[in-house]
A and B are shown apart, each in its own frame.
Chain A
Amino acid sequence: MKRFWGFVKKEFLHIFRDFRTMIIIFVIPAAEILLFGFVVSTDLKNARVAFLDLSGDEITRQLSEKICSSGFFRKSEDLLSFNDIDRELRKNKIKAVIVFEENFGSKLIGEGKAVMSIIADGSEPNMASLVTNYASAIVADFNNRLIQTSGSVNILVQPEVRMFYNPSLKSHFMFVPGVITIIMTLVCALMTSITITREKEFGTMEVLLVSPLKPIQIILGKVIPYFILSIADAILILILSWFVFGLPIKGSIILLLAELMLYILMSLSIGIMISTISKTMQQAIFIALVGMLLPTILLSGFIFPLENMPKGYDWFSALFPPRYFIVVIKNIMIKGTGFLYVWKETLILLFFTVTSIWLSIRNFKVRLQ
């Protein structure tokens, strides 16, 4: 045991001596949290729209002003003819064109009907549907007022809304937990798989294997320093997201830390598993980064809600542990729920941890034989 702790200490010194790696381990997550807390957002803001106003009357001017003063849209140069639409959209200068038909105002007053069409750039479907929805909502509001002023009828049902957990509708509430998860997953898996394959590639693993240390002790010795570093990292991220984004920790901090440790342990075990199946650092990094980057971003519910995925993907994304951890963090931090609400996810994460450790040991033994 004493020999083992000596080994851990040596590994620790090894990491600390590589000053640059140390900086990187702490600076990167911090930088990323800051960057993405501010940058990554799916909110509609200042989307450029152009108007093709074939009528040019008082009402169309009012309406276009109302659309642009909402903060969601920004007015781009007016178009003069239908032919301009394709040209402008293809240059990617605008997201949509709003067309008012000819004699819009007089039709609206005379016939009681006028048509406004929104031509949105469907190559970004999300943007397109946000644009049409928001613009339609603004027009609907305008309609309501028209009805009220013209017919003196009351709008009867008046809905009121409460936005739970995130009253100001900030997108960091969605993204900060996601970024924490991505960073923890990839950094931990990368760190462990690199550190172990490095020994293999440079032949120093053999030296360790003939030492009186047991293989399991060698692996643990390499992983424990990273485990401690990762926890420090995670705490740094939590403090940053609290101070900078006001992301609350509504639930129990102890529970949150325990879950974090479990998740870090799991990511480290995945890293170990990767290192048992790769011969060189290049292979390990390829698996940990190229293989895991996109699934972690896309199948974790970080940006794209899981509920929206097509049928059959439920079981598939179930194979990617980040999704469970995002649920856990959101529940504990933002909703403030207790263990009763996350026990299922916790159990699944535990299962992933045990499985990857078991697979690593098996692969390791196969190697040695």
Chain B
Amino acid sequence: MRTILYLIRKEFLQIFRDKFIGKAIFAVPIVQMLILVPAVTFEIKNVKVCIIDMDMTAESRGLVSKLEGSTFFHVRFSTYSEKEANDLLHRGKCDLVLQIPSGFGKETGQGRQGKILASVNAINAVNAQLSWAYLSGVIRDYNLNIIAENAGARTLAALPQIQVTNRYWYNETLNYKYYMLPGVLGILILAIGFVLAGLNLVKEKESGTIEQINVTPIKKYQFIIAKMIPFLIIGLIDLAIGLLIGKLTFNIPFEGSIALLFLCSAIFMTALLGVALLISTISNTQQQYMFTGFLFIIIFVLMSGVFTPSESMPVWAQKINLVNPAAYIMRINRMIMLKGSAFSDISRDIYSLIIIAAAFTALAVNRYRKTV
């Protein structure tokens, strides 16, 4: 135990002796959180619409004004040329072209179906689908209005209708900051721990200082643990700063137990540092470590479900996620912070994380060679 303390002291001295790193490990997360958390949202507003109204009747204008009335659509262009509209779509000036053919008013006025055509830029599939869903909603309302008018207002109430009400629990206004902050914080901690801890060990190999260590009677586990703890502590301090910023600047709700959150984060960090050190024990140069490490960081982050729903992933990917520590912590962070989930709600995730952490740490200790 005493040996580990001496080693930890040495690691801390070295980390903070590098003036740049000593500051960057705290400054970078703070700056990135302040900037990135409010930046990002999936919320779609201002879908830019181009109208081709070939009909020019009261009915077609009624439909367009219905569209303009929604907060979602923003009618930017109006043209009679299909070519021009397509060009606008091509250049990304508009996202949706709504084409009302001539005769639309006449058909609907006589109670027959009138067709309209929407062309959507679908490179971003989700945006396209949502725009389409909203457009359908607007048209549905429009339809109901006509039906009601035609049937006389008296009977509208008699039309059978299922009303849908939406409630969003834990985040009623769907504030994206609440969603982003735990995720961004998790990624920052992951990246810092991964980069610093792994590089640190490889650097000792590359510069030869590890040889002097290897010739001492130090135990393998002592060395690995001493490499983990400083970065674990730094990660938790970063977490504390991040939460404080979240509370003060973004007023993030904090429903669950802070102690539980820190406990889970500590286990997560252990798992992560275990992976980092495992990679570094099998790398010879910092360059090799970094490229392998980069692969893992990207996989951990993008598969974690932090920005995209992990449920949408194929089954095999979800299986891989069973050993991805990031997938657990992203989920756990949100559950504790926003939903107030207690230990019993996340116990299975915690046990899995503990197993992952223990396994990777054991592997790192096992792979670390005190012989050359």
Q: Is the CB of B115 within 8 A of A305?
A: no
Tell me whether B1 is interfacial, beta carbon within 8 Å.
no
CB distance from A205 to the nearest CB of B (A): 16
CB distance from B72 to the nearest CB of A (A): 11
Given A92-B341, A304-B40, A114 and B162 contact (CB-CB distance below 8 Å): yes
Q: Is the CB of A147 within 8 A of B90?
A: no
Q: Is the CB of B128 within 8 A of A125?
A: no
Return the contact of B162 from the options A108, A155, A190, A331 (Cβ within 8 A): A108
Determine the distance from Cα of A109 to Cα of B172 in the docked complex, in whole angstroms. 32
Determine the distance from Cα of A190 to Cα of B294 in the docked complex, in whole angstroms. 10
Q: Is the CB of B297 within 8 A of A293?
A: yes
* In the complex, chain B residues whose CB is within 8 Å of the CB of A186: 294
- Mask for B82-116, Cβ within 8 A of A = 1, else 0? 00000001111000000000000000100111111
CB distance from A223 to the nearest CB of B (A): 15
CB distance from A56 to the nearest CB of B (A): 16
* In the complex, chain A residues whose CB is within 8 Å of the CB of B285: 18, 21
Tell me whether A285 is interfacial, beta carbon within 8 Å.
yes
CB distance from B222 to the nearest CB of A (A): 23
Return the contact of B290 from the options A125, A133, A142, A190 (Cβ within 8 A): A190
Report the nearest B residue to A95, measured CB to CB: B311
Tell me whether A121 is interfacial, beta carbon within 8 Å.
yes
Q: Specify which of A157, A293, A303 lies most central, judged by the most chain B CB atoms within 10 Å of its CB.
A: A157
Report the nearest B residue to A32, measured CB to CB: B298
Q: Is the CB of B297 within 8 A of A123?
A: no
Q: Is the interface of B mostly helix, strand, loop or mixed?
A: helix
Determine the distance from Cα of A95 to Cα of B134 in the docked complex, in whole angstroms. 21
Tell me whether A173 is interfacial, beta carbon within 8 Å.
yes
* In the complex, chain A residues whose CB is within 8 Å of the CB of B179: 123-126
Tell me whether B159 is interfacial, beta carbon within 8 Å.
yes
* In the complex, chain A residues whose CB is within 8 Å of the CB of B307: 297, 303-304
Return the contact of A42 from the options B125, B151, B339, B345 (Cβ within 8 A): B125
CB distance from A200 to the nearest CB of B (A): 13
* In the complex, chain A residues whose CB is within 8 Å of the CB of B112: 154, 156
Q: Is the CB of A164 within 8 A of B172?
A: no
Report the nearest B residue to A25, measured CB to CB: B291
Report the nearest A residue to B341, measured CB to CB: A90
Q: Specify which of A90, A114, A194 lies most central, judged by the most chain B CB atoms within 10 Å of its CB.
A: A90
Q: Which of B17-25, B229-237, B258-266, B358-366 contacts A (4 or more CB under 8 A)?
A: B17-25
Report the nearest B residue to A87, measured CB to CB: B345
- Mask for A35-47, Cβ within 8 A of B = 1, else 0? 1101111111111
Tell me whether A79 is interfacial, beta carbon within 8 Å.
no
CB distance from B279 to the nearest CB of A (A): 11
Determine the distance from Cα of A322 to Cα of B270 in the docked complex, in whole angstroms. 33
Q: Specify which of A28, A109, A126, A144 lies most central, judged by the most chain B CB atoms within 10 Å of its CB.
A: A126
Q: Is the CB of B191 within 8 A of A293?
A: yes
* In the complex, chain A residues whose CB is within 8 Å of the CB of B313: 39-41
* In the complex, chain B residues whose CB is within 8 Å of the CB of A143: 160-162
Q: Is the CB of B44 within 8 A of A157?
A: no
CB distance from B357 to the nearest CB of A (A): 20
Determine the distance from Cα of A129 to Cα of B131 in the docked complex, in whole angstroms. 13
- Mask for A82-125, Cβ within 8 A of B = 1, else 0? 00011001111001000000000000110011111111111111
Return the contact of A164 from the options B42, B120, B130, B140 (Cβ within 8 A): B120
Tell me whether B71 is interfacial, beta carbon within 8 Å.
no
CB distance from B254 to the nearest CB of A (A): 13
Tell me whether A48 is interfacial, beta carbon within 8 Å.
yes
Q: Is the CB of B43 within 8 A of A308?
A: yes
Q: Is the CB of A122 within 8 A of B162?
A: no
Tell me whether A151 is interfacial, beta carbon within 8 Å.
yes
- Mask for B144-180, Cβ within 8 A of A = 1, else 0? 0011001100010111111111111111101110110
Given A126-B179, A150-B159, A280-B18, A38 and B317 contact (CB-CB distance below 8 Å): yes
* In the complex, chain B residues whose CB is within 8 Å of the CB of A279: 20
Q: Specify which of A41, A130, A294, A295 lies most central, judged by the most chain B CB atoms within 10 Å of its CB.
A: A294
Tell me whether B248 is interfacial, beta carbon within 8 Å.
no
Determine the distance from Cα of A281 to Cα of B203 in the docked complex, in whole angstroms. 9
Determine the distance from Cα of A309 to Cα of B180 in the docked complex, in whole angstroms. 13
* In the complex, chain B residues whose CB is within 8 Å of the CB of A194: 286-287, 290
Tell me whether B215 is interfacial, beta carbon within 8 Å.
no
* In the complex, chain B residues whose CB is within 8 Å of the CB of A272: none
CB distance from A127 to the nearest CB of B (A): 5
Tell me whether B123 is interfacial, beta carbon within 8 Å.
yes
CB distance from A8 to the nearest CB of B (A): 19
Q: Is the CB of B44 within 8 A of A308?
A: yes
Return the contact of B165 from the options A36, A117, A293 (Cβ within 8 A): A117
Determine the distance from Cα of A96 to Cα of B298 in the docked complex, in whole angstroms. 29
Q: Which of A214-222, A234-242, A334-342, A350-358 contacts B (4 or more CB under 8 A)?
A: A334-342
Given A125-B179, A289-B191, A299-B36, A41 and B312 contact (CB-CB distance below 8 Å): yes
Determine the distance from Cα of A90 to Cα of B341 in the docked complex, in whole angstroms. 5
Q: Is the CB of A137 within 8 A of B165?
A: no
Q: Is the CB of B184 within 8 A of A120?
A: no
Return the contact of B160 from the options A120, A147, A331 (Cβ within 8 A): A147
Tell me whether B195 is interfacial, beta carbon within 8 Å.
yes
- Mask for B290-328, Cβ within 8 A of A = 1, else 0? 111011011101110001110111100100000000000
Mark A residues whose CB is within 8 Å of B: 18, 20-21, 24-25, 28, 31-32, 35-36, 38-48, 63, 85-86, 89-92, 95, 108-109, 112-130, 132-137, 139-140, 142-144, 146-147, 150-151, 153-167, 169-171, 173-174, 182-183, 186-187, 190, 194-195, 198, 278-283, 285-287, 289-291, 293-295, 297-299, 303-305, 307-310, 313, 316-317, 327, 330-331, 334-335, 337, 341
Given contacts A283-B24, A308-B42, 13 further A-B contacts (CB under 8 A): A18-B285, A24-B288, A31-B295, A89-B339, A109-B160, A123-B335, A125-B41, A153-B147, A157-B113, A157-B142, A163-B122, A286-B21, A294-B187
Q: Can you identify 10 A-B contacts, CB atoms within 8 angstroms?
A: A18-B287, A90-B335, A125-B42, A157-B63, A158-B115, A159-B136, A160-B118, A186-B294, A282-B18, A289-B294
The 4 A-B residue pairs whose C-beta atoms are closest, nearest first, are A122-B171, A122-B168, A163-B122, A123-B338
